[in-house]
Amino acid sequence: MRVLVLNGPNLNLLGSREPEIYGSESLDDIEAVLRDRAEQLGIELDFLQSNHEGALIDAIHEHGDWDGVILNPGALTHTSIALADALSATGLPAIEVPLSNVHAREPFRRHSYISPVVWGQIAGFGFRGYRAALHLLHQRWTERQAEGGSESGA
């Protein structure tokens, strides 16, 4: 199984950026936690962060032989129809993982263009959300394999 993990603008600042909201873990810490868990589950990870919307879209278009996507688009969550369209076009199961509980913050953070095209959202659990998403995608993939079916649709 192979999973793409995408991180959007300003997430390269994790650790020093408003730690009371986003936690004290850096993006490298999050990647290390995920790689560790991925190895235990036999999952190959592609992990990417960009501050540029187009770079994130290009990465999705590359559409390696991924079986799922975990993404935290940062503020692009609330603005990017283009990113949502790119994700939707893959037909892959994806999980949106905002670190903070966006529903308990400013009203503009409650709306996500991404949510309608993903399997689900895990919000407010910090880096643990990424780890939970990896488990959920793995579980789904394992179930589909057992059914002998192929993956399609979010």
Q: Which residues bind ligand DQA (CB under 6 A)?
A: 10, 72, 74-75, 77, 98-100, 102, 109
- Looking at the Cβ atoms of 101 and 139, the one nearer to ligand DQA is 101
CB of 118 to ligand DQA, least distance (A): 13
55-59: list long-range contacts, CB under 8 Å, 24+ apart: 56/6, 56/8, 56/83, 56/86, 57/82, 57/83, 57/86, 59/4, 59/6
Q: What span, in angstroms and rounded, lies between the C-alpha atoms of 142 and 21?
A: 34
CB of 120 to ligand DQA, least distance (A): 15
Per the listing, tokens 């501050």 go with 51
- Looking at the Cβ atoms of 23 and 141, the one nearer to ligand DQA is 23
Q: What span, in angstroms and rounded, lies between the C-alpha atoms of 79 and 30?
A: 25
Radius of gyration of the chain (CA): 15
- Looking at the Cβ atoms of 33 and 41, the one nearer to ligand DQA is 33
CB of 18 to ligand DQA, least distance (A): 9
CB of 50 to ligand DQA, least distance (A): 13
